[in-house]
DNA sequence: AATAGTAGGTACCAAATAGATACTAAAGAG
DNA sequence: CTCTTTAGTATCTATTTGGTACCTACTATT
C-alpha cells in the first residue's frame, strides 16, 4: 500500500528535470563537458559552445556546480586559470544524452522540413 | 573529403534540439503524450500536465504540430472536441525520454541535496 | 434566465532569460 | 608605458516566456 500511495503522488520526473537543468545552453554545455570527459578551461569551453556569452556560461556552470554535476577548480595564477569537469554523477547522464544527440541527428531533416 | 568537411561543420545536435523543443513544459507534455500513446483531449491533457495554463498548453501543442511530432484532430461538435496524439516520428523519442525519466528517478535525492 | 463545460483567442502584465558592453586584477611582452 | 591574456563582475537593455483575466460559441442542465 505504501508503494501504491508513493507511486500515485510521485512528482513528474520530467518536470523535475526541466526545473533542474533549464536554459537555452544548459544541455549543450553539459553534453560538451561529458564528451570532453576531462578538465577544460573556461575559455576553451566558451569557444566550444560558441556563441554563448561569458555571463551565460558562468551562470550555467555555477548552477551545475551547485547541484553536483560539475566541479570547478581555480588556480590562483595570473592570468587566472579555472577548470571545469563533469563529476561521476554528471557522467551518468552520458547514455541518455548520447541517445538524444543521436535522435536529433537521425531526424534533423524530417523535423526542419514542415515549416 | 566531403565527409571531413561535413563533419567539421555539423551543427551541434543539442543546440538544434533545444531550439526545436524549448519551454518549461515542452518535455513534460511530449512525454505524457508518448506515454499515453493514444488520442487525448485537450482538457484531459491539461489535467495530466497540471498546473499548466491553457495558453501555454495551446502554444506548445501548436509548436509540436508544426514540426510533425503531434497531430491535432478537431471534431465540430458541441461542446467542441479536439484530440491530440503523438505521431510515429514523435514515438521515436520514447526510448530517449524513458531514459531521461529513469535517470531523474534514480538521482532525485542526490541532486536535490546540495541546496 | 443563469450557469457550467469545451477549446480555444486576446490583451495586458510580470518575470525570467539572454545579450552587449565595459570594467577588474596581475603578470608578461614589446 | 601600453597592450594582451583570463575569468570573471557589473550594468543596462532587449527578447522571450509565463500567468491572469476576460472573451467567444453552442449546448445541456438547473
Q: Where are the domains of chain A?
A: 13-112
Chain A hits for B111, CB-CB cut-off 8 Å, are 20, 67-69, 89
Closest by Cβ to A96, choosing from B24, B28, B99: B99
The three cell numbers of residue B10 are 555539423
Least confident of A47-51, A71-75, B85-89: A47-51
Please give the share of chain A, as a percent, with pLDDT higher than 70.
Answer: 89
Partners of residue A84 on adjacent β-strands: A40, A72
Distance measured from the CA of protein residue A35 to the C1' of nucleotide C6, in angstroms: 48
Is some CB atom of chain A closer than 8 A to the CB atom of B20? yes
Residue B52 has pLDDT above 60, yes or no: yes
- Alpha carbons B15 and A30: distance in angstroms, whole number: 11
Q: Which of A26, A14, A102 is CA-nearest to residue A69?
A: A26
Region B86-108 average pLDDT: 94
CATH code, residues A13-112: 1.10.10.10
Residue nearest to nucleotide D27 (CA to C1'): B78
Q: Give the separation between CA B68 and CA B91, rounded to whole angstroms.
A: 11
pLDDT at B47: 87
- Sign for the CA dihedral angle at B14, B99, A68, B22 comes to positive
Maximum CA pair distance of chain B? 61
Rounded to whole angstroms, the Cα distance separating B59 from A89 reads: 34
Question: pLDDT-based confidence at B2, cuts 50/70/90?
Answer: very low
**Architecture per CATH, B16-112:** Orthogonal Bundle (1.10)
Q: What's the pLDDT at B31?
A: 93
Amino acid at each position: 500500500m505504501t508503494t501504491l500511495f508513493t507511486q500515485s503522488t510521485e512528482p513528474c520526473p520530467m518536470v523535475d528535470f526541466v526545473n533542474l537543468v533549464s536554459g537555452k545552453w544548459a544541455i549543450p554545455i553539459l553534453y560538451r563537458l561529458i564528451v570532453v570527459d576531462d578538465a577544460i578551461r573556461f575559455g576553451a569551453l566558451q569557444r566550444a559552445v560558441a556563441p554563448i556569452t561569458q555571463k551565460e556560461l558562468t551562470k550555467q556552470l555555477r548552477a551545475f556546480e551547485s547541484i553536483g554535476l560539475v566541479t570547478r577548480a581555480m588556480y590562483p595564477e595570473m592570468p587566472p586559470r579555472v577548470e571545469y569537469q563533469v563529476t561521476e554523477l554528471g557522467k551518468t547522464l552520458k547514455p541518455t544524452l548520447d541517445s538524444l544527440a543521436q535522435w536529433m541527428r537521425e531526424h534533423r531533416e524530417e523535423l526542419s522540413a514542415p515549416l
